[in-house]
């Protein structure tokens, strides 16, 4: 404290100059201290970690959002350390803060980057008002396994969709200026390949070939880096024998060397310490050296950096320049966020939007994130004016906590409006709403109350049946092997179906569930994910028709868990399945010949198609696509190809269609997926309206990481399709005649 280096007379100077000035004053221990991020959750952190802060052993703290504690900790750093470098406060602000937005997988179902950006902006402002300046989001891990609990936090199975939406989230959190009120630093995670965990078991090792890593898992990370993300986080995973936190090839090699990321890399929680548990390092000293030299700058919770790096440098086992680079990145982030200039900034520059506006945005987001999976006989929307009674049934119909979903530390359940409450409010004075939970929670196996639900259904014009999973069944370390509806919910659904009343199924869940055994119980089915604070009113908006459903699936829904991983952008194989070469197990003649069953790539019991494909989602109107045309049969590097098709709203209601463009590269130096999403657009059309939807393709849209690892397109024949989901057959061809 005696020699505080951060003084006003240093201003104004460039961030670089300011950082170098501090760095030049720092001891090895003080530099290493900046690299240490510790947990500051209660009990009373200032007593627990105060001495470490005083000793200059702490650079950042997680998980403290009580104003007086935040200020007390910051005060210690500023006034009681030798150099007075402020702390950086971080938190998992994943899908909202006090106001909770839909789960990221739900937000991804909106295919609306503007909405995703707005949600992140609001969350950032609410978080910053408590001193949080750094969130650990977005999570852009490509997720093709619905068993994995963290699919809830993901943006789905597709590299392009996750790239667009992940970049939007980064921009929302960070705004145009990191130091502005209400801006917080994003942290793109988990670098890399975490979503490929074997069998969907969290933390499990994985093997990802380089081609797969570069073409499937890395694109969203690159997009987030290009969007200006300030920080990245390593994954807990082990990729091909090298844990991500010690993976020099992935971090220094690809991320810094090839992608050009210059920001800060933090480990995941104790993932440096876990290098020992993985069997990759013998002790904390080796773990610290391996992680530091791989490109990790900050240590979340293992203390290996602060404990071991000074000695490693002193003993000549690690270059001091490595330590300097790491500390420089931490200090640079603090300056860019403005916490050095004004360490208590957002506490007095509150940019928080009014609660009313935040809730309105959360309601819009929830409505856009819900996907109408089926709507038999146009049972939806319900005509509220003609309703006399409505039964709202199910264990997820009135759960303010559960509807917020996983990774909600700061969400206020009092802000949640549940479906039961929202339907009662919307129909108040117009129709009777009978609410019967029937099961106390999603895993409840006690069927005693189901008869009350049946009773209510029989006395109602229609039923809204809210099923799904409690929030605790998805998220980190919450993987499931059986992803059907838990508890007695299938029994409940069958009993309600047997009443003969129109059944509107609503699934609130953190993952795509395997719905095959229950799907026929619903006349209409809305997949609501965990929709956040305003799930109830958003559902009423859709059910009443006030808002037309526009969500589209960001993941394929499996027929059964045995199909997993199932994703639309798979490789073709040498023997692709087609309707004519698959057989169902029930149709195999006894004594059938060994080679008589189709000899293609499918499951005898569950075929090869998902229950609902990627990109699927209905509206209350009908969208018809005209034929796809291309502006030329071919185009060369440097030129643009225009792809067009007519889109008509031929139904009787206004609607929004997410128009999707897919390509297939017919032959490459590496085999290419059977389809790849390359563009999409939300198009609003009034009933009866027609428009031309136009996309421009360039060589860059066709690029991939080629066999020699260079990035670019390859000349040759391509298919292009435009339609409302990933199965569309509405297509044309073109040729790329040259590539750079």
Which token pair is 468? 């799904």
Residue number, 93 or 540, with CB nearest to ligand NOJ: 93
- Answer whether 352's CB lies under 8 Å from 96's CB: no
- Answer whether 129's CB lies under 8 Å from 346's CB: yes
Say which DSSP state 629 is in. E
Between the CA atoms of 457, 533, 369 and 521, what dihedral angle is there, to the nearest 10 degrees? Answer: -20
Q: What CA–CA distance (Å, rounded) separates 542 from 260? A: 44
- Answer whether 329's CB lies under 8 Å from 264's CB: yes
Bridge partners, residue 299, by sequence: 36
- Answer whether 621's CB lies under 8 Å from 656's CB: no
Residue number, 227 or 233, with CB nearest to ligand NOJ: 233
Contact residues toward ligand NOJ (CB under 6 A) are: 92, 136, 189, 268-269, 476
Which token pair is 564? 């997993």
Which token pair is 734? 């073109």
471-490 core/surface letters (b: 16 or more CB in 10 A; e: else)? bebbbbebbbeebebbbbbb
Residue 233: is the preceding peptide bond cis (ω within 30°)? no
Name the closest residue to ligand NOJ (Cβ).
136
Residue 8 bears catalytic tag: no
Q: What is the DSSP annotation of 68-95? A: HHHHHHHHHHHHSSSS-PPPEEEE---S
Q: What CA–CA distance (Å, rounded) separates 446 from 433? A: 24
Q: Is 466 helix (H, G, I), strand (E, B) or coil?
A: strand
Bridge partners, residue 679, by sequence: 661
Q: What CA–CA distance (Å, rounded) separates 512 from 425? A: 30
In the complex, minimum distance from the CB of residue 60 to ligand NOJ, in angstroms, rounded to a whole number: 12
Residue whose C-alpha is closest to residue 350's, from 530, 124, 182: 182
In the complex, minimum distance from the CB of residue 590 to ligand NOJ, in angstroms, rounded to a whole number: 51
In the complex, minimum distance from the CB of residue 89 to ligand NOJ, in angstroms, rounded to a whole number: 13
Residue reference for tokens 């006894």:
590
> Could you give the C-alpha distances from 341 to 329, 335, 349, in angstroms and in order?
17, 7, 13
Greatest CA span in the chain, whole angstroms?
90
Element (H, E) at 465: strand 462-468
Question: Which residue in 92, 158, 238, 268 is the catalytic one?
Answer: 268
How many Cα atoms occupy the beta-carbon half-sphere of 203 within 13 Å?
11
Q: Is 306 helix (H, G, I), strand (E, B) or coil?
A: helix
The radius of gyration of the chain's CA atoms, rounded to the nearest angstrom, is 27
* Bridging pattern class, strands 623-625 and 641-649: antiparallel
In the complex, minimum distance from the CB of residue 177 to ligand NOJ, in angstroms, rounded to a whole number: 24
- Answer whether 547's CB lies under 8 Å from 684's CB: no
Residue reference for tokens 């260079």:
710
* Bridging pattern class, strands 704-705 and 711-712: antiparallel
* Bridging pattern class, strands 88-91 and 134-135: parallel
Which token pair is 718? 């391509």
Q: What CA–CA distance (Å, rounded) separates 260 from 305? A: 24
- For CA atoms 196, 200, 204, 205, the dihedral sign is negative
Which token pair is 690? 């027609």
Active site residues: 268
């Amino acid at each position: 404290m005696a020699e505080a280096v951060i003084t006003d007379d240093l201003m104004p100077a460039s961030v670089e100059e300011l950082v170098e000035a501090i760095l030049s004053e720092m001891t090895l221990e003080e530099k290493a201290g900046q690299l240490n991020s510790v947990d500051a959750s209660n009990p009373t952190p200032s007593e627990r970690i105060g001495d470490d802060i005083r000793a200059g052993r702490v650079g950042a703290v997680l998980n403290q959002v009580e104003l007086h504690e935040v200020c007390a900790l910051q005060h210690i750093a500023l006034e009681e350390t030798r150099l007075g470098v402020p702390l950086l406060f971080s938190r998992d602000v994943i899908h909202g803060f006090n106001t909770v937005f839909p789960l990221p997988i739900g937000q991804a179902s909106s295919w609306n980057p503007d909405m995703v950006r707005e949600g992140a902006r609001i969350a950032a402002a609410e978080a910053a008002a408590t001193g949080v300046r750094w969130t650990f989001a977005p999570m852009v891990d490509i997720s093709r396994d619905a068993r994995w609990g963290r699919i809830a936090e993901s943006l789905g199975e597709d590299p392009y969709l996750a790239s667009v939406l992940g970049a939007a989230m980064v921009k929302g959190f960070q705004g145009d200026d990191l130091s502005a009120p209400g801006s917080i630093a994003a942290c793109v995670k988990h670098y890399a390949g975490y979503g490929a965990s074997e069998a969907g078991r969290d933390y499990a090792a994985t093997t990802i070939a380089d081609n797969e890593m570069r073409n499937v898992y890395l694109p969203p990370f690159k997009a987030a880096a290009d969007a200006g993300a300030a920080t990245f986080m390593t994954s807990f995973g082990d990729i091909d024998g090298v844990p991500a936190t010690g993976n020099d090839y992935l971090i220094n090699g690809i991320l810094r060397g090839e992608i050009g990321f210059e920001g800060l890399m933090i480990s995941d929680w104790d993932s440096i310490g876990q290098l020992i548990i993985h069997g990759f390092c013998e002790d904390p000293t080796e773990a610290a050296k391996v992680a530091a030299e791989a490109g990790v700058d900050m240590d979340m919770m293992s203390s290996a950096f602060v404990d071991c790096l000074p000695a490693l440098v002193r003993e000549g086992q690690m270059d001091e320049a490595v330590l300097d680079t790491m500390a420089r990145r931490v200090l640079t982030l603090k300056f860019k966020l403005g916490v050095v200039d004004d360490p208590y900034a957002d506490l007095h520059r509150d940019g928080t939007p009014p609660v009313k506006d935040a809730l309105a945005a959360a309601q819009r987001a929830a409505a856009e994130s819900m996907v109408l999976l089926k709507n038999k006989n146009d049972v939806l929307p319900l005509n509220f004016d003609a309703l006399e009674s409505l039964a709202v049934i199910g264990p997820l119909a009135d759960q303010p906590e559960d509807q917020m979903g996983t990774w909600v530390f700061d969400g206020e359940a009092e802000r949640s409006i549940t479906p039961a409450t929202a339907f009662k409010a919307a129909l108040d004075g117009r129709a009777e709403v009978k609410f019967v939970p029937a099961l106390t929670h999603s895993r409840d196996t006690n069927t005693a109350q189901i008869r009350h639900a049946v009773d209510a259904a029989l006395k109602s014009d229609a039923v809204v049946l809210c099923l799904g999973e409690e929030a605790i069944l998805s998220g980190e370390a919450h993987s499931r092997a059986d992803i059907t509806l838990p508890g007695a919910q299938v029994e409940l659904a069958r009993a309600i179906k047997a009443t003969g009343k129109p059944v509107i199924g609503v699934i609130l869940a953190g993952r795509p569930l395997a719905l095959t055994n229950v799907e026929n119980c619903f006349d209409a089915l809305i997949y609501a994910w965990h929709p956040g604070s305003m799930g109830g009113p958003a559902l009423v908006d859709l059910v009443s028709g006030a808002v037309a459903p526009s969500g589209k699936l960001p993941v394929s829904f499996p027929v059964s868990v045995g199909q997993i991983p199932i994703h639309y952008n798979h490789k073709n194989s040498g023997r692709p399945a087609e309707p004519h070469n698959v057989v169902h197990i029930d149709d195999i003649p006894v004594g059938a010949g060994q080679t008589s069953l189709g000899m293609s790539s499918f499951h005898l019991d569950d075929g090869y198609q998902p229950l609902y494909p990627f990109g699927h989602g209905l509206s209350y109107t009908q969208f018809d696509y005209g034929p796809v045309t291309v502006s030329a049969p071919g185009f060369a590097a440097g030129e643009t190809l225009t792809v067009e098709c007519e889109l008509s709203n031929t139904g009787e209601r206004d609607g929004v269609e997410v128009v999707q463009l897919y390509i297939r590269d017919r032959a490459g130096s590496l085999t290419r997926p059977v389809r790849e999403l390359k563009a999409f657009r939300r198009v609003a059309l009034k009933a009866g309206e027609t428009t031309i939807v136009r996309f421009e393709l360039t060589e860059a849209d066709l690029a991939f990481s080629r066999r020699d690892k260079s990035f670019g397109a390859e000349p040759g024949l391509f298919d292009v399709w435009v339609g409302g989901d990933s199965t569309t057959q509405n297509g044309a061809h073109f040729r790329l005649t040259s590539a750079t």
